Amino acid sequence: MKKFLLISTMLGAAAFSMPAAAETLRIGLATAQSGGLAGYDSPVVEGFHIAVDEINTAGGIGGNVMIELIEKDVRSDAAQTSIAAQELVDEGVSVLILPCDADPALAAIGIVSSAEIPAISTCASSPTLPMIGGEYMFANFPGDNVQATVSASWAYEQGHTSAYIVYSPDTQYTTMPLYFSEVFEKLGGTILGQDTHSIGQQDFSAIATRIAALSPQPDVIMTSSYEPDFPSMLKALRAAGVTSQVIGSDGIDSPTTFSLGDVGEGVVFTTAGHATEGSPLAAFNAKYEQITGNPSETVFNAVGYDLVKVLEAAVIAAGGSTDPKELRDAIANLENVQGATSLITYKGTDGMPVREVTLIRVKDGARELVGQPSPDASLIPAPRMQ
Amino acid sequence: MDLFLQQTVNAFALGGTYALLALGLAVVFSIMGLINFAHGELMTIAGYVLMYCGLAGLPFLLSVPLAISASMVAAVLMERIAFRPVRNSSGATMLVTSFAVAMILQVLFQNLISTRSQPVLLPQLLSDSVTIGGLVIGVNKIAAIVSTLVMLVVLDRFMKHQKTGIAMRAAAEDFGVARLMGIRANTVIAGAFALSGLLAGVAAVLWVSQRASVDPLMGFMPVLKAFIAAILGGLGSLRGAVAGGFLLGFIEIYLAAFLPHEFQEFREPIGLGIVVLVLLFRPNGLIPSAALKAIKV
């Protein structure tokens, strides 16, 4: 009897410690619902919920695997991210969703790799994330180096031959202009100079004055700074009399950029997608408006929907399994998953997906599609640690 | 030379904003001994009022006084609700209370308004610039310099000639004796908070007109700068706060403008290093508070 008890207890414990029952995919979300990154993570999670509800209403992934979410707010804090990731691992999730920026996401690396659970950052675009994060870390956004290749190639094709970059060494993402200058020089353009700023810096007048004093003026000014830095920088540049083409990146895909009036006109930036008529993104935006009652203000809603589509495809590819290791292998081999913004491929990459990059121009306070060019693979710079 | 003058104008504009912020902290500190870290949230409140006024289609000239009044009302309420009950407690208690007020307000903004930053509609004029004697000066820079000067003159006259102002100065020097002379503590302290709200409101309009958006955590950075400026100028001294604000603005702009490129990354530590250096020679700040007497603290 004793033996029976022991064995049954052990079996019970073993069954209990299994990540999840076969019919439920437990997803742990450790995302920033407050703090500096909330502006990105909260719209992503909104889109995430729309996709999860849609799948669960239809009977689950493949008709039988229901999705269960466990959500924690990491307050845009690196330490809190690793605490939340550990708690979620302890609760037996099969997949972890980490915050938008590479830096807090990296804080969870140790936990992710020792627990051997696949982790995907909501929208971090730094190609160094999966590189440092190892085989269990994935991203869900076009890489910084790819975005910079697209914008530098576009600028060069427009006949712009000189550029100035303004970047911040504070995070991986805000160093994207360094990739830009690498590609721009490779194409034959010249970089007239560079400036650094810190995130949250209020005043850009010193930098703007320095750029205004250059002769000749740079054709292009490239930055990957985001709110509140980007509007301040742009206003300072224009007030100092600088009229160069300003190029930004996905971080400024937000309502503020489109409400700057004349100052914002003509700004071009790279992002994850554009809702052309009949596109999956247009369909998603319609769905979003129907569910929430408000139009989607940023592509990050759709990026959250993409994330669930990737997980859905991975579960199906793993034959309905929710085992973390099988899911990791399935994600790493996904090809051409149709998301709301683009086709998404992980196969052949180190975890930084191949996705479409869209160039948008601010025109009359609205989006204008500039193009969705495929970057020349030989131009894409290697990921670098800043 | 032109470049130098241009950067000096930039430094005046930024220093002026810092001076207003530091003055807001100093007004309250000089009387209560409280460093109000929720001062930044007063700015956020003014910012949100600007945002809602923009959404409601009010003209900017009307939104500005509304935003400033909202920040004043909020400051007085803050005193009545949070700080009056701990008025005679230790400095640490009041400091922690101010942190608590700041955090509670941030969470309220996040939950009741939005975690995302909200665009603020600004008149085009604020993004324009004018050329004066070969210098290109942004309208918002001129607005910053002019409103700082107006505020400083008004404040100076208020402190020197108005009864409440004189009472506040007396209270700043020795609150106990001032009360014995028949000055009502509640009036003086509420007045100080209203004044700090006014300063926060004006600074918020200048701050928001540069960044064009408002988010729940917006107040943190300005209050941090104001704190540095107030310490640099001499905590508790109003003239010191103004001097500290301007000096901090000049340090930041000149470093950003003239530090060689290789050192730009270390701009902030170098700037703070200069602040520390000044404090080594003048431990009580540039213009120490009279209440400190000659004692080094």
pLDDT at A201: 86
Closest to B275 in 3D by CA, of B237, B225, B203: B225
Candidates B127, B221, B252; nearest CB to A261? B127
pLDDT at A189: 96
Residues A87 and A128 in one domain: yes
Structural domain tally of chain A? 2
pLDDT at A78: 92
Residues A192 and A227 in one domain: yes
Residue A352: inside a domain: no
pLDDT at A8: 54
pLDDT at B264: 86
Residues A186 and A259 in one domain: yes
Residue B177: inside a domain: yes
Residues A199 and A104 in one domain: no
Q: Is A304 on the interface with B (CB under 8 A)?
A: no
Residue A238: inside a domain: yes
User: Nearest residue on chain A to B212, judged by CA atoms?
Assistant: A231
The full length of chain A comes to 386
Residues A226 and A295 in one domain: no
Residue B10: inside a domain: yes
Residues A132 and A171 in one domain: no
| CATH number of the domain that residue A186 is part of | 3.40.50.2300
Tell me how crowded residue A272 is: count the other CB atoms within 10 A of its CB.
27
Ranges of H-type helices in chain B: 2-32, 39-55, 60-78, 91-108, 139-161, 163-173, 175-180, 185-211, 220-233, 238-258, 267-281
Please give the Cα distance from A122 to A307 (Å, whole number). 7
User: Nearest residue on chain A to B142, judged by CA atoms?
Assistant: A239
pLDDT at B292: 61
pLDDT at B32: 86
Structural domain tally of chain B? 1
Tens of pLDDT, residues B81-130: 999 999 888 889 999 999 999 999 999 998 899 888 899 999 988 888 88
Provide the pairing of β-strand A366-371 with B118-119. unpaired
pLDDT at B87: 87
Residue-range definition of the domain harbouring residue B249: 2-292
Q: Is A123 on the interface with B (CB under 8 A)?
A: no
pLDDT at A384: 86
Output Rg (C-alpha) for chain B, integer angstroms: 19
Residue B142: inside a domain: yes
Residue B51: inside a domain: yes
Residue A157: inside a domain: yes
B136 interaction partners in chain A (CB closer than 8 Å): 212, 239-241
Residues A165 and A245 in one domain: yes
Mean pLDDT for all residues in chain B: 91
Arithmetic mean of pLDDT, B176-198:
92
Residues A365 and A251 in one domain: yes
Residue-range definition of the domain harbouring residue A201: 144-271+358-379
Q: What is the DSSP string of A259-271?
A: TSGGGGTT-EEEE
Low-confidence spans in chain A with pLDDT less than 70? 1-22, 386
ipTM for the complex?
A: 0.89
Residues A229 and A175 in one domain: yes
Residue A310: inside a domain: yes
Test A205 with B140 for CB contact under 8 angstroms: no
| CATH number of the domain that residue B198 is part of | 1.10.3470
Test B215 with A206 for CB contact under 8 angstroms: no
Tens of pLDDT, residues A26-47: 999 999 988 888 889 999 999 9
* Torsion angle defined by CA atoms of residues A249, A255, A261 and A262, in that order, rounded to the nearest 10 degrees: 10
Please give the Cα distance from B72 to B76 (Å, whole number). 6
Position B185 pLDDT exceeds 70: yes
Residue A368: inside a domain: yes
**Are A18 and A60 a contacting pair, CB within 8 Å?**
no
Residues A126 and A149 in one domain: no
Residue B297: inside a domain: no
Test B267 with A260 for CB contact under 8 angstroms: no
Residues A30 and A105 in one domain: yes
Residue B171: inside a domain: yes
